[in-house]
Amino acid sequence: MGTARVWKPGDAIATPLELYTCVVEPEWVDYNNHMTEAAYLTAFGWGSDALFTYIGDDDAYRAAGHSFYTAETHIVYERECYGGDPLKVDTLILDVDHKR
């Protein structure tokens, strides 16, 4: 992953956000060389971490008692990923409110 981009209030937000890329690691695949479900969730979690960095969630933010968590996850398998394949995680913010 390259240099983290940081969003500032007033900046336009592209949708979907393209903040995290990686390569499917050998330990992420099963006996058919397909990426496992657990590995997808791991990659998506790192994609979420990239989003949190983008919006300014840093050590000071967490030290002040703030945090984020995943309330719901949906996975759609559009095509297979194999060991060594490039993988891009796009993030789309569907809704926000004062708490969520």
Mean pLDDT in residue range 87-99: 78
Distances (CA, A) of 1 to 10, 54, 60, 79: 25, 13, 22, 22
Q: What pLDDT score does 23 carry?
A: 97
Residue 91 resides in a domain: no
Domain, as residue range, for 43 = 36-80
Residue 8 resides in a domain: no
Quick check: 41 pLDDT over 50?
yes
pTM as predicted: 0.74
Q: What pLDDT score does 4 carry?
A: 61
Q: How many domains does the chain have?
A: 1
CA–CA dist 17, 51 (Å, integer): 8
For 69, the 3-state DSSP assignment is coil
Mean pLDDT in residue range 55-61: 85
Q: Please, where are the H alpha helices in 7-96?
A: 37-54, 59-63
Q: What pLDDT score does 1 carry?
A: 45
% of the chain exceeding 70 in pLDDT:
89
Residue 92 resides in a domain: no
